Chain A
Amino acid sequence: MTAADDRLAAALEAEHAAIFGYGVVGAHAGGDVALAQAAELAHRGRRDALIVRLTSKGVAVPAAQAVYALPFPVTDQAGALKLAQTLEDRCAAIWRLALPDTTGDERKVALDALIDCATRGTAFRKAAGTTPSTTAFPGQLSSG
């Protein structure tokens, strides 16, 4: 397994987790349910594309777990929007890590995903009234 394959497999695991998380987000998203559903759909699309890509390369595809631990309990719309932001931030970080280890078409896949995660992260911050709604370096976990 190449470094690129390793990163893409990690991205698939993150997408599995995000899809699980959006099940919880959707249940509590209230008036923002359409936003949550669109986000979940996008993550499902990324997951499916990753499975196809990794399988065609003969790379073992990590399966989704039955249950994922949530970072915090979600009981209302505010919590749902906060979880959605967290899910997008986590996915953005995983996809960003894939950039240096990929080239060509696969780097484009990672870049498109990072861009989508950052855009949705901002959309959820706007919906939650969080300011600022953007960060200078989406996906970067350490400061600087």
Chain B
Amino acid sequence: MFTVRVRMAADGSSRAAPTSRRAVLAAAGWATTGLATAALGGLAGCDSGGPGPDATPPPDPLLPFLTATVALADQYDAAIAAESSLSARLTPLRDDHRAHVRALAREIGISPPSPSASASAESAPSTVQKLLAAEKDAQKDAEKACLEGPSYRAALLGSIAACRASHQEALR
């Protein structure tokens, strides 16, 4: 409709970057050690010496973003568990975040991390106001990642930023 030229040749979500076997192997190790240790693993990776064939590959810069996205989805789980009357309203939003987790894991080249049930149980009940604030911060993170990241990830990260903005509208 509207005779607008739509050029669909390059939808930016494609994985143009070579996802190397190294990255997949490194990420698989990360996935099995769990999210809690992911940050530590990332730091350790930075300690490797000069660039050599055996040097540990740098962690994917999207890993912290993925971890934060899992935490955001977990926050919704906690809110839904604490207040079942909010379930109908919050579940679709939670599902959007889970879809982001799957897409980010695919982009990085790892298996999607599963929801951390323990984190949900430990979290203080999240109110809608707290979720709103979390979405706002998360939108900023996604915008930063989109603007500073490589072009082949810009569309994916831009959509995630836009989704988080639309969640704020949905929560209002």
Contact = CB atoms under 8 A, between A and B. Distances in A.
Interface stretch (A42-50, A52-60, A105-113): A105-113
Contact of B155 (A13, A97, A118, A119): A97
A64 B99 CA distance: 37
Nearest to B13: A140
Nearest to A139: B159
A63 B11 CA distance: 26
A97 B13 CA distance: 10
Given A21-B2, A115-B162, A131-B92, A97 B7 contact: yes
- The bracket for how many chain B residues form the interface is 35 or more
Nearest to A93: B6
A141 B147 CA distance: 21
Nearest to B106: A144
Interface string B66-98: 000000000000000000000000001101100
Main secondary structure of the interface of B (DSSP, over half): helix
Interface in B156-171: 156, 158-163, 165-170
A100 B160 CA distance: 14
Interface in B113-164: 139, 143, 146-147, 151-152, 154-156, 158-163
A61 to B, nearest CB: 15
A134 interface: yes
Main secondary structure of the interface of A (DSSP, over half): helix
A14 B4 contact: yes
Given A115-B165, A136-B99, A138-B166, A96 B158 contact: yes
A118 B1 contact: no
Given A97-B12, A107-B146, A134-B93, A121 B4 contact: no
A123 B10 CA distance: 29
B17 interface: no
Given A69-B1, A100-B151, 10 more contacts: A10-B7, A93-B6, A111-B162, A114-B158, A115-B161, A122-B169, A131-B92, A134-B166, A134-B167, A140-B155
10 contacts: A6-B7, A69-B1, A97-B7, A110-B158, A111-B162, A119-B169, A134-B163, A136-B103, A139-B158, A140-B155
Interface of A: 6-7, 10, 13-14, 17, 20-21, 65, 68-71, 86, 90, 92-94, 96-97, 99-104, 107-108, 110-111, 114-115, 117-119, 121-123, 126, 131-142
